[in-house]
């Protein structure tokens, strides 16, 4: 029988609600901190008026709904371009966040999402631009490119998984090395290819958009809802993948085995679960998800890929860490956390266009939210402290001093 409290709530449900509340508090603190930062910067700068400072605070909180200015005053309402661009930008970080969240659920820290993202980008672009669309239907080319990208990412992600499973090498170290190896390999592959944009002389370090070969992700009708934006069906695919991973991790024996290995590898092995196989599969799945993020972003046909990646790594891989942390590794929560992070990016863009402030203030907000989320256990402990002072009516109204309270038990488990 599941353990319930006097209100009949299951213990797991109570913990989930407190975790969600801790994440929401983290977001609220981050937004308040961002608004205060804007106010301080505006107050200290002689070039920024009090009106601009007030507008900056409004855009931090409601930038997604900004429709520009009318008569010098900010106007707000439904902005299809902002909403559509938010969904487009959310697609890759939702999937990298899902990649890291799934790995975290299995006891592994996939800091190699950036390298896997690059591998998926490379594989998808190479296929999408190399197969002539006059001989093969563009939809089939898109499907092949997307499938190949996920296979390539799974193989790349399996490398640190095998090192962890067979040699017990920490996956963080292995993933970091794989990131830079991937960055250099991708640079070399595209440098030696004929896919570089030579049609525009100023863009020699860029790869052609997939639309150059008439290949692009279907809009799936979203362009009618959000006209003028970059949105396409990639966001729908990302959401479906998140739902599928939630089902796998929460409702299947396979998902239970993966999480059991993460909880205690040796106990899982004693119970008859193939620990080495599941560690490799966990990282392979994480690699496939990160690669899907890169594929969906560049197969959209909206964006050119800068092929010289050996000196830097894509930010989407590291943004995924923040998304997974904020979503508390829940595949469904990743959808909302990724959309929220993307919304802050859109708000930063509006801040730059409509006020004297720059968009990097939103990076400060994201950083604060991530730090607060990392200390979500402290927030949960503060929420539990009140319960420790409650009287147990079943014990005659005496304070629980010589017994372990539910709040203390939850802290022990955490």
User: DSSP for 178-214?
Assistant: HHHHHHHHHHHHHHTSS-B--SSGGGTTEEPPGGGGT
Residues 384 and 352 in one domain: no
Q: Three-state DSSP class for 305?
A: strand
Mean pLDDT of the chain: 84
Position 390 confidence tier, pLDDT thresholds 50, 70, 90: low
Residues 160 and 253 in one domain: yes
Tell me the CA distances in angstroms from 353 to 87, 94, 224, one per residue in order.
20, 26, 25
Please report whether residue 365 resides in a domain. Answer: no
Residues 266 and 218 in one domain: yes
Residues 326 and 275 in one domain: yes
Which pLDDT belongs to residue 306? 87
Q: Count of alpha carbons within 13 Å of 28, Cβ hemisphere only?
A: 8
Residues 183 and 309 in one domain: yes
* Structural domains in the chain (count): 2
Q: How far apart are CA 338 and CA 389, in angstroms?
A: 37
Please report whether residue 367 resides in a domain. Answer: no
73: number of Cβ within 10 Å: 8
Please report whether residue 363 resides in a domain. Answer: no
- pLDDT exceeds cutoff 70 at 350: yes
Residue with tokens 């890759």: 92
Residue with tokens 């894509």: 314
Which of the residue ranges 34-38, 192-196, 215-219 has the most confident prediction, judged by mean pLDDT?
215-219
Name, in order, each residue with C-beta under 8 angstroms of 16's C-beta and a sequence gap of 6 or more: none
- pLDDT exceeds cutoff 70 at 392: no
Q: Determine the number of helices (DSSP H) and then strands (DSSP E) in the chain.
A: 16, 6
Please report whether residue 54 resides in a domain. Answer: yes
Which pLDDT belongs to residue 328? 85
| % of the chain surpassing 90 pLDDT | 48
Partners of 207 in beta bridges: 196, 305
Residues 87 and 17 in one domain: no
Q: What is the pLDDT of residues 61-95, one digit of tens each?
A: 888 899 888 888 888 899 999 999 999 999 999 99
Please report whether residue 2 resides in a domain. Answer: no
- pLDDT exceeds cutoff 90 at 292: yes
Which pLDDT belongs to residue 409? 52
Which pLDDT belongs to residue 36? 87
Please report whether residue 4 resides in a domain. Answer: no
Q: Three-state DSSP class for 98?
A: helix
Residues 244 and 311 in one domain: yes
User: Domain containing 34: what range?
Assistant: 11-79+374-413
Q: What is the pLDDT of residues 312-325, one digit of tens each?
A: 889 898 889 989 98
Residues 133 and 147 in one domain: yes
225: number of Cβ within 10 Å: 14
> At 264, which CATH number?
1.10.3470
Residues 62 and 186 in one domain: no
Residues 67 and 213 in one domain: no
Name, in order, each residue with C-beta under 8 angstroms of 160's C-beta and a sequence gap of 6 or more: 112, 169, 171, 174, 175, 178, 283
Please report whether residue 366 resides in a domain. Answer: no
* Closest by Cα among 139, 149, 306, 153 to 233: 139
* Closest by Cα among 396, 400, 389, 340 to 369: 340
Which is higher by pLDDT, 26 or 234? 234
Intra-chain end-to-end CA distance of the chain, in Å: 22
Which pLDDT belongs to residue 149? 97
Please report whether residue 362 resides in a domain. Answer: no
- pLDDT exceeds cutoff 70 at 32: yes
pTM of the complete model: 0.85
Residues 220 and 122 in one domain: yes
Residues 15 and 119 in one domain: no
Task: Please state the φ and ψ torsions of residue 43, each to the nearest 5 degrees.
Answer: -70, -35
């Amino acid at each position: 029988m599941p353990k319930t409290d006097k209100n009949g709530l299951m213990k797991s449900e109570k913990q989930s609600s407190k975790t969600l509340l801790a994440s929401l508090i983290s977001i609220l603190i981050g937004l308040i901190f961002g608004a205060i930062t804007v106010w301080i910067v505006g107050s200290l700068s002689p070039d920024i008026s009090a009106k601009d400072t007030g507008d900056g605070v409004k855009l931090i909180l409601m930038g997604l709904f900004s429709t520009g200015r009318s008569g010098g005053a900010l106007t707000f309402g439904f902005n299809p371009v902002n909403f559509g661009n938010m969904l487009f930008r959310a697609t890759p970080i939702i999937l990298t966040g899902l990649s890291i969240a799934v790995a975290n659920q299995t006891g592994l820290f996939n800091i190699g999402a950036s390298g896997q993202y690059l591998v998926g980008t490379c594989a998808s672009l190479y296929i999408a631009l190399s197969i002539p669309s006059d001989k093969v239907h563009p939809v089939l080319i898109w499907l092949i490119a997307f499938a190949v990208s996920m296979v390539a990412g799974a193989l790349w992600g399996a490398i640190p998984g095998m090192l962890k499973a067979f040699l017990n090498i920490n996956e963080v170290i292995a993933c970091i090395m794989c990131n830079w190896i991937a960055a250099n390999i991708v640079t070399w592959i595209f440098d030696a290819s004929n896919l570089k944009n030579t049609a525009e002389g100023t863009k020699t370090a860029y790869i052609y958009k997939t639309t150059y070969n008439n290949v692009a992700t279907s809009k799936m009708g979203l362009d009618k809802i959000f006209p003028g934006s970059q949105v396409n069906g990639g966001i729908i695919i990302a959401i479906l993948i998140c739902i599928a991973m939630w089902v796998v991790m929460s409702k299947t024996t396979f998902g239970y085995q993966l999480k059991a290995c993460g909880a205690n590898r040796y106990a899982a092995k004693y119970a008859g679960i193939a620990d080495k196989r599941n560690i490799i599969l966990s990282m392979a799945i994480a690699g496939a998800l990160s690669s899907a993020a890169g594929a969906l972003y560049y197969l959209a046909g909206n964006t050119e890929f800068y092929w010289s990646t050996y000196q830097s790594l894509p930010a989407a891989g590291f943004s995924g860490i923040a998304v997974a942390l904020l979503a508390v590794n829940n595949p469904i929560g990743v959808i909302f956390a990724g959309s929220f992070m993307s919304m802050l990016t859109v708000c930063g863009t509006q801040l730059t266009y409509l006020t004297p402030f720059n968009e990097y203030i939103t990076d400060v907000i994201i950083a604060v939210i991530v730090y607060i989320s990392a200390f979500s256990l402290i927030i949960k402990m503060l929420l539990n402290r009140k319960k420790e002072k409650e009287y147990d009516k079943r014990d005659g109204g005496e304070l629980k001093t010589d017994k372990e309270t539910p709040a203390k038990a939850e802290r022990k488990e955490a």
